A and B are shown apart, each in its own frame.
Chain A
Amino acid sequence: MLVGIDVGGTYTDGVLYGENKILQMAKHPTQEDDLEGSILSVLDELLQDRKASDLQRVVFSTTLVTNLLATGGGDPVAMILIPGPGLNLKQLEFFPQAYLANGAIDFRGRITEPLDQEQIIKIGESIKEAGLNKVAVIGKFSNRNNSHERRVGEILQNQYPDLDVVRGYEVSGELNFLRRAVTTYYTAVTRDKWTYFATGMQNALRLRGIEAPLSILKADGGTMPLDVSLQFPCETVFSGPAASVMGAFALTMNGRTAVVVDIGGTTSDLALILEGKPLYASRGAVIGGHYSNVHAFAVRSIALGGDSAVRLQEGQISIGPERLGPAACFGGPAVTPTDAYNVLENGSIGLPELSVRALEELAAQAGIPAQKLARDIVELVNSRLEASIKEMFKTWEEEPAYKVWELVNKRRVTAEQVIGIGAAAGAFIPSLAERFNCEAVVHRCAPVANALGAAISRPTLSLLLHADTRQQIYRLDREGIGGEFKASHLADAKALALSGLQEVAGKLGIGQYADRYEYFLEEQFNMVRGWSTTGKLFDVGIQIAPGVIDEFEGVQ
């Protein structure tokens, strides 16, 4: 049996999956100040009549790190940047306590300016004087050569052994210094609090006799073992939307192009699945108002949900953005899209007669029949969703391409399905799908598809390899792995990327998925100096893409 729990802003959802079906589901209000309690109360309800020892896997997604970042509740961190030539970072006010250090590395990983040891010691001293004990160190092109970052760490830890140092290369190795800086910084900010929370969860599960491995859902729709998450807390942001997308993915798995619409209480999250593959945000998740290099699905949130308040303003209907409470059919104070659905389609959500009464009251003010008002509301909801979905497709089509082949072969995509997720999905998805002239998919499990998504997602791992045959070196973008590269063919670089993937997957405890790899990037460049070829540069990307675990066999 598998357990998946998704902590959302309003509700925490859980499912217990086994024998091709959902054996149990639970939905509890989320206690923002006690996420552990929220998760455990859902878990306890799921497991009431079951043996803890029958569980094979527990996965949860949580908003802890997102909340820490939103409320500024993390730890204060000093930032040491080693920028070298380029943007003048004195102008960028990203980080409250930032120090610029001398030293530079270029795009080929060559040291072009040495580090200044005395300067680092002085910076350490100022950090201590400021009363900080966490430091994030990040250098430009540290993904091509991390020796400056490592040396800064050594100097600081020699001089000030109680300083807690996070180095950029430990967190990410993709090209984009600013995004790596943001990710490294927020990793240092949230790591201790995340560790405290994760350890608490681990203990609570052990107390219940659960020995099954505990994993965390990431923003990219993959899972990571709990102990791995201690090193990468930022990967847990936006895992709620990822859970929904993976739920939609698991309930369809047909290789088609689909729009996923998760209609919540106050917001709707939109995502795209292109020919069976969930679409990633091209620039990474936005953390603390800045782009990071956390891989996340391209999710667009709009302030429009089943509980959004409907109002009349000078005879015009407006919906949202705020939620004044539950829908009128649940005793709420205002007409909502959910009530409009009850009236229009003879729905049975809550107490439909309350919906009718609320709509009649508002319709009387507008001087129109309640049926017309209901139709107008549903129409407005759908046209706003439709406009946002079209924008998402357009944005995807306008993604830059860097090769002639890519640009010439760009094609337009159209939705073949609209997949509805969330309790109110049944009410709106069919008419929305009509607008795209395609199929509506609202599975019975739609209300808890997010939790199902958490339960059945498999681990993901993505690695980039950069190899330089002239310098005979290679680097992986993970934890500074690298070494000698004596080969000269793309095939050799690909083989090396694969063995890197196998090794890293093994270390992360997800080795059984290492054979599900695919290459997503294969580039080679001849280096020509004078008029002869003197070497090659290879960039290879390999990944275990988002998918479902072997134990998932569909939902009856």
Chain B
Amino acid sequence: MDGPGGGLKEMRGNKEVAVKPTGLVFFPAFDWAISPTHPEREERLLYTRDQIFEEGIMDLPQIRQYQPRLAGNKDIARVHFCVPNIEAQATEAHRIAAGGALVIADALMQGEIKNGFALVRPPGHHAMRVVHGNRGFCNINNEPVMVEYMRKKYGVKRIAIVDTDVHHGDGTQDIYWHDPDVLFISFHQDGRTLYPGSGFVDESGGPLARGTTLNVPLPPGTTDRGIMYVLEELVLPVLEEFQPDLVVNSAGQDNHYSDPLANMKFSARGYAVLNEMLAPHIAVLEGGYSIETALPYVNMGIIMAMAGIDYSNLYEPDYHEQKFREDPLIKDALKDVVGELTGIFHHRHELAEETRRTLGPMVRRQRRIFYDTDQIDENQVESLKICPDCPGYLAISSQAAGSRGRYNIYCIVIPPQGCPNCRDEAYSLYDAVRKQPPDAYNILYLQDRITDEYRHYDYNTREELTVE
């Protein structure tokens, strides 16, 4: 049966113009859970399904529904070093969640939709570049998989990812730490009071990408008003100056006042206003575990705002404005944070030049990374080439004992903007490390983002695979 006829039209002045719909991938993964009683379980989007199906919102001409696909190995290899291999970390559910974002990306870039929302699970924003296991309910980071696909396939240059989840998007931050063309802004409940315990103001990007990572820790109890303040005073002006080709909302829903894992006071209508103001090209669902009281309404709010549908009648059944007075101290705290971050952002070019003058040829950082879900401790040493012409290649050595045993791996990243010198040097490094004795490492990886080629060398079998 064909649908009710006629595309969507809108009056502009006295002319009627065609308006593109908002794309929606709804993939609740009703047969997938981390464990039966885990927050990330089958039931998570059940009431959201009931609400959006009952509203009939997908029948409206403003919405076009898409079916997700499975992200391929190459889509994942473009972002992650999966230990010991992609199959071990990316289940079908992970591939579908990431693939849902890819479908929206294609629909956007092919001009079928004006914007889109991948309402998918499982989430991804705690998954870092190296993946030994599950961190914060995440294995595969959906937004970077999508963004890197868009850079490769459509040549998108400048990207902004705004992480609106209540938890710091430490995985996404890690992936873009050294990338000056991807602006990552995360606002989240203060890391001193919530998982993953990071996301402070001084985490502002790697030596050559200072100021393109901006973290806004919010005091517990921040309401719609505080978040709007951050949006108006920091996020929107910074975006205006950065001029991204693509804005992505990493759309967690756990800032909501009813979320059981956090302590914020954001409302469904607040989320709608946020998305209207931010006007992301693509939103991808992240966390949010108040499955009955928040998610059905917050998801509706995001869909409505993105599609330009009036959301003035959207509210949680238990919402009363009086309940949400904000402590005036919160505003004062936010004012300081916004001021400091604005300064860092404005000085980002000078900070990078300063690094180039004073540091090099390699800059190292050593870290311990904890995987809460899988109880894994990772030790990592990352070395960045301080290059005068590009963001520099990256070499990472990492050791961790996961459920599949202990792995010691070595990874080399040639960034998409990499210069010929860095590329040559990175390949020489790859060859040199490969020649090391079999007990040096278990696996050696090479990520060549210039040619879109991904190698995986196993010291035990002496086999080198290229990811297809």
- Which chain A residues have a beta carbon within 8 Å of chain B's beta carbons? 83-89, 91, 104, 106-108, 112-113, 140-141, 175-179, 238, 281, 283-286, 289-291, 296-301, 398-405, 407-408, 523, 525-528, 531-533, 537
CA distance A525 to B315 in the complex (A): 26
Residues A107 and B47 in contact in the complex (CB < 8 Å), given A291-B59, A402-B28, A532-B37: yes
In contact, B46 and A537 (Cβ under 8 angstroms): yes
- Which chain B residues have a beta carbon within 8 Å of chain A's beta carbons? 1-5, 26-32, 36-37, 41-43, 46-47, 49-51, 53-57, 59, 65-68, 70, 92-93, 96, 292, 296-297, 300, 304, 309-318
* CB pairs A–B below 8 angstroms (17 shown): A85-B297, A86-B51, A86-B314, A87-B57, A107-B47, A113-B317, A140-B54, A176-B56, A179-B56, A281-B1, A286-B2, A290-B59, A300-B1, A401-B27, A402-B29, A404-B29, A404-B31
In contact, A300 and B2 (Cβ under 8 angstroms): yes
In contact, A283 and B3 (Cβ under 8 angstroms): yes
User: Considering the complex of A and B, which 6 residue pairs feature the smallest CB-CB distances, nearest first?
Assistant: A178-B56, A281-B1, A112-B317, A107-B50, A88-B313, A175-B53
CA distance A286 to B59 in the complex (A): 11
In contact, B59 and A179 (Cβ under 8 angstroms): yes
B interface, over-half SS: loop
In contact, B49 and A402 (Cβ under 8 angstroms): yes
Q: Could you say which residues of chain A place their CB within 8 Å of the CB of B5?
A: 289
Residues A404 and B41 in contact in the complex (CB < 8 Å), given A107-B50, A179-B56: no
Which of A286, A527, A531 meets B43, CB within 8 Å? A527
Which of A141, A179, A525 meets B46, CB within 8 Å? A525
CA distance A296 to B1 in the complex (A): 8
Interchain nearest-CB distance for B285 vs A (Å) = 14
Compute the total of residue contacts between A and B using a CB distance below 8 Å: 136
Q: Could you say which residues of chain A place their CB within 8 Å of the CB of B28?
A: 402
Q: Could you say which residues of chain B place their CB within 8 Å of the CB of A298?
A: 1
In contact, A408 and B37 (Cβ under 8 angstroms): no
Q: Could you say which residues of chain B place their CB within 8 Å of the CB of A178?
A: 55-56, 59
Q: Could you say which residues of chain B place their CB within 8 Å of the CB of A532?
A: 37
In contact, A106 and B317 (Cβ under 8 angstroms): yes
Interchain nearest-CB distance for A278 vs B (Å) = 13
Q: Which residue of A lies closest to B297 (CB)?
A: A85
Q: Could you say which residues of chain A place their CB within 8 Å of the CB of B29?
A: 402-404
Residues A526 and B37 in contact in the complex (CB < 8 Å), given A88-B313, A291-B56: yes
Residues A87 and B70 in contact in the complex (CB < 8 Å), given A283-B3, A290-B4, A298-B1: no
In contact, A286 and B1 (Cβ under 8 angstroms): yes
Q: Could you say which residues of chain B place their CB within 8 Å of the CB of A297?
A: 1
Residues A404 and B42 in contact in the complex (CB < 8 Å), given A86-B55, A286-B3: no
In contact, A286 and B4 (Cβ under 8 angstroms): yes
Which of A113, A141, A177, A291 meets B3, CB within 8 Å? A291
Interchain nearest-CB distance for A179 vs B (Å) = 6
Which of A83, A407, A526, A528 meets B68, CB within 8 Å? A407
CA distance A89 to B380 in the complex (A): 55
In contact, A176 and B313 (Cβ under 8 angstroms): no
Q: Could you say which residues of chain A place their CB within 8 Å of the CB of B304?
A: 87
In contact, B59 and A107 (Cβ under 8 angstroms): no
With a 10 A CB-CB cut-off, give which of B2, B57, B66, B92 has the most chain A CB atoms: B2
Interchain nearest-CB distance for B102 vs A (Å) = 14
Which of B2, B37, B317 meets A85, CB within 8 Å? B317
CA distance A102 to B196 in the complex (A): 43
Interchain nearest-CB distance for A236 vs B (Å) = 16
Q: Which residue of B lies closest to A536 (CB)?
A: B43
Which of A91, A176, A300, A404 meets B54, CB within 8 Å? A176
Q: Could you say which residues of chain A place their CB within 8 Å of the CB of B37?
A: 526, 528, 531-533
CA distance A267 to B304 in the complex (A): 38
With a 10 A CB-CB cut-off, give which of B26, B51, B304 has the most chain A CB atoms: B51
CA distance A86 to B304 in the complex (A): 9
Q: Could you say which residues of chain B place their CB within 8 Å of the CB of A527?
A: 43
Q: Which residue of B lies closest to A301 (CB)?
A: B2
CA distance A526 to B33 in the complex (A): 11
In contact, B1 and A283 (Cβ under 8 angstroms): yes
With a 10 A CB-CB cut-off, give which of A89, A238, A301, A401 has the most chain B CB atoms: A401
Residues A85 and B42 in contact in the complex (CB < 8 Å), given A291-B56, A402-B27: no
Interchain nearest-CB distance for A406 vs B (Å) = 8
Q: Could you say which residues of chain A place their CB within 8 Å of the CB of B310?
A: 87-88, 91
Q: Which residue of B lies closest to A289 (CB)?
A: B4
Residues A107 and B2 in contact in the complex (CB < 8 Å), given A83-B313, A85-B297, A528-B41: no
Q: Which residue of A lies closest to B318 (CB)?
A: A112
In contact, A176 and B32 (Cβ under 8 angstroms): no
Q: Could you say which residues of chain A place their CB within 8 Å of the CB of B66?
A: 398, 400
In contact, A107 and B296 (Cβ under 8 angstroms): yes
Q: Could you say which residues of chain A place their CB within 8 Å of the CB of B318?
A: 112
CA distance A86 to B315 in the complex (A): 7
In contact, B4 and A398 (Cβ under 8 angstroms): no
Q: Could you say which residues of chain A place their CB within 8 Å of the CB of B296?
A: 107
In contact, B50 and A403 (Cβ under 8 angstroms): no
In contact, B59 and A283 (Cβ under 8 angstroms): yes
With a 10 A CB-CB cut-off, give which of B32, B70, B309, B310 has the most chain A CB atoms: B310
CA distance A238 to B1 in the complex (A): 10
CA distance A176 to B55 in the complex (A): 6
CA distance A225 to B2 in the complex (A): 29
Interchain nearest-CB distance for B201 vs A (Å) = 34
Q: Could you say which residues of chain A place their CB within 8 Å of the CB of B300?
A: 86
Q: Which residue of A lies closest to B57 (CB)?
A: A87
CA distance A69 to B49 in the complex (A): 32
Which of A87, A104, A175, A176 meets B317, CB within 8 Å? A104
Interchain nearest-CB distance for A410 vs B (Å) = 8
